[in-house]
Amino acid sequence: MVSTALESGLQIAGKTFNSRLLIGTSRYPNQQVMLDAISASGAEIVTVSVRRVSFESGGEGLFDLLRGKYQFLPNTAGCFTARDAVITAELASEALETKWVKLEVIGDEETLFPDVEELLKAAEELVKKDFVVLPYCNDDPITCKKLQDIGCAAVMPLAAPIGSGMGIRNPYNLRIIREQCSLPLIVDAGVGTASDAALAMELGMDGVLLNTAVAGAQNPIRMAKAMKLGIQGGRLAFESGRIPRKLYATASSPSEGMADL
């Protein structure tokens, strides 16, 4: 009997989403391409950068276009301290009327890797303030476990540096994180194409969050659909249980009962 877990969808903080793809709203050629790509992806959760949009003309229009259609996941992109991240999350909560937040606390501008110490402080404070916290973090099992223990709603380890398109560089760490964490795990950052997304799901991740891979593609709308199908195929493969790897061949047709020639 085929597992029905795929049909149950992605569950975060008591909400169920049919799509396991979370998608960003930046770097698209124009707003119409963004809207069409999000629609093609099937995503139900969209990330928005409050710090970026609030300083751009027409920023409010973006929220108006998406409001009521998607679950907003405002992010704290551009924050380098726990204090700035908490303040940004609180401003986003007021502006978008949501307690959900993608928590980012960046360590430096070149790698955009998280500052773990500041990230943990911000996560703890926001959880105490009843936020639904989805932290972007390193692919470090210890950090992920600490974020789970703090009370985050999901944990989002990176696959590779933000916007790099390098794909999953350390699948073994993701497997360890999967074994040690019971929370929803969402691969965030570094996905470049549909096969990367499929691999993330085959490793047991619950979802994939991406932006540049779609927004920066030559055809964002078609790439968004490819990501959707990659995630669906990868998740179904994970639930189906792959055959074990073997060094030598195993005949697909049994030799017993063959005609003696």
pLDDT at 5: 42
41-99 pLDDT per residue, tens: 999 999 998 765 544 444 457 778 888 899 999 999 999 999 999 999 999 999 888 99
Identify the residue whose tokens are 């405002």. Answer: 74
- Residue 102 falls in the annotated catalytic set: yes
Mode of pairing for the β-strands spanning 15-17 and 10-12: antiparallel
Say which of 15, 69, 102, 121 is annotated catalytic.
102
Nearest CA among 3, 65, 75 for reference residue 37: 65
Burial class from Cβ neighbours inside 10 Å (0-12, 13-18, 19+) for residue 228 reads buried
pLDDT at 2 over 50: no
Domain ranges of the chain: 11-240
Question: Which class is 11-240 in CATH?
Answer: alpha beta
